[in-house]
Amino acid sequence: MAKLVYDKTGRLLFTKEMKEEYTLLMPQMLPVHFGMMKQLLECEGFKVDMLTTNHRGIVDEGLKYVHNDTCYPALLVIGQLIDAVKHGGYDPHKVGLLITQTGGGCRASNYIHLLRKALQKAGMEYIPVVSVNLSGLEKNPGFKLTLPFIRKAVFAMMYGDIIVNVANQVRPYEVNAGETDEMIRTWSDRLVQGFQDGKGMSRGQMRKNFDLICADFAAIPVAGEPKVRVGVVGEIYVKFAPLGNNNLEQFLLSEGAEPVVPGLTDFIIFKIYNRVADVDLYGGKWIKKAACKVFMGYIEDCQKDMIAALKKSGRFRAPGTFQQLHSMIHGYLGDGNKMGEGWLLTAEMLELIHSGVPNIVCTQPFGCLPNHIVGKGMIRKLKDDYPWSNVVAIDYDPGATKINQENRIKLMLANAKGLQQQQAEEADAAHAEGERESVTA
């Protein structure tokens, strides 16, 4: 058994010896993106299990070890990890817990400390907790983020976004059920293998892969009339994670809708842009601002390549650029509103409305004050400016029932389908009137 080693503050370290013996348990947020991340970590020599459990026991474990005033995503993430240690068939003396740490004003910065307190309360303080962060907050001798790995991870996030984008436009219409998901698995494996061979990580290779991804998904047989498109926004974990939103995307599909979920790339650029905005708003080192602008510019260029591939396909709708998204928020929120998802959340709703997706589910987790301000708090303003918008805020917390959430979404969908039918009838009437005028002339 690996020897337990502590730093000067008393924090249990994840050692090189543990890397050889331990299995790292990793919560899931974005199934496609994190699936590739798991494979990349395995290629670095780690044993990793991505947790996909989804049951009430996770909430109960979270309530047992996390204060009930803490935000719902923290309760779920910590509950899922402890549930896995207790009931997942692992040797608790041979597991480590992997969790991201943002270092910003969001409560997510405290998840790692809350998790350690929960482990202590459960009598499992001997389990190491590994922080995944780019801020130098915590370091472990057995877990280091090397530049080559970070580069692969950034590319994996970009590829994950285009795969999810095209998959969401195909899956609601696929003739052969499951073909879209099989294509996702094929491309995820292909990309990770390419990373290991040093392929797919230059702009030119990425553009080529983007085109191939679009072509392969466009080749999947589809049928049926266009469905009502429904946007999904909100706090990042509850927006993306099936555990957090009670399998929202699957529910929308079952109700005959097409989910439209803004990707992770804008969030990544948003977080980098905040470092630039901080210097402008509060002062700071120009070198920090310059470095962040270079990094941000590179990811923005990659995003433009992705958008160009989607447009060029002739089959898929493409999102706008980060700069276009940023321009939409002027007159609504300032750059200083950046806690949690900040102004980005409102901007995503505006982009959806402007791109013909006025039907939106805003996922509202308990305890996320910034999300309530820039999400639910902005709905009235958006409704005033865009009367045809059809936005519903759905609360997610330990006491919220799935049936109540789904009933509220069904009401929003009924309104959406009624509006779609009305628009179709008006279009038919206008077409008929045009034909009559043509005959008269």
* Domain containing residue 246: CATH number: 3.40.50
- Global confidence as pTM: 0.91
Query: Which pLDDT score, from 0 to 100, does residue 386 have?
Result: 95
Q: How many domains does the chain have?
A: 2
**Full DSSP string of 6-34:** B-TT-PBP--HHHHHHPEEEEE-SSHHHH
Domain that holds residue 57: 16-144
Q: Dihedrals φ, ψ of 126, to 5°?
A: -80, -5
Query: Which pLDDT score, from 0 to 100, does residue 9 have?
Result: 87
Any domain includes 337: yes
Query: Which pLDDT score, from 0 to 100, does residue 404 have?
Result: 94
Query: Which pLDDT score, from 0 to 100, does residue 102 have?
Result: 66
Any domain includes 9: no
Any domain includes 425: yes
Of 91, 94, 73, 92, nearest to 27 by C-alpha is: 73
Rounded-to-integer distance, Cα 88 and Cα 30, Å: 21
Any domain includes 41: yes
Query: Which pLDDT score, from 0 to 100, does residue 431 have?
Result: 65
Beta strands in 128-175 (DSSP E): 129-132
**Weakly modelled stretches of the chain, pLDDT under 50:** none
Any domain includes 211: no
Which of these three, 113, 144, 175, is where a domain ends?
Answer: 144
Query: Do 256 and 361 share a domain, yes or no?
Result: yes
Which of these three, 144, 173, 192, is where a domain ends?
Answer: 144
Any domain includes 206: no
Any domain includes 207: no
Which of these three, 144, 162, 194, is where a domain ends?
Answer: 144
**CA 13 and chain centroid, separation:** 29
Query: Which pLDDT score, from 0 to 100, does residue 103 have?
Result: 63
Query: Do 88 and 234 share a domain, yes or no?
Result: no
Q: pLDDT tens digit string along 10-26? A: 899 999 999 999 999 99
CA-to-CA separations, 338 to 4, 129, 147, 276, 324, in angstroms, rounded: 39, 28, 27, 12, 18
Of 30, 402, 414, 60, nearest to 248 by C-alpha is: 402
Query: Do 117 and 233 share a domain, yes or no?
Result: no
Rounded-to-integer distance, Cα 221 and Cα 217, Å: 9
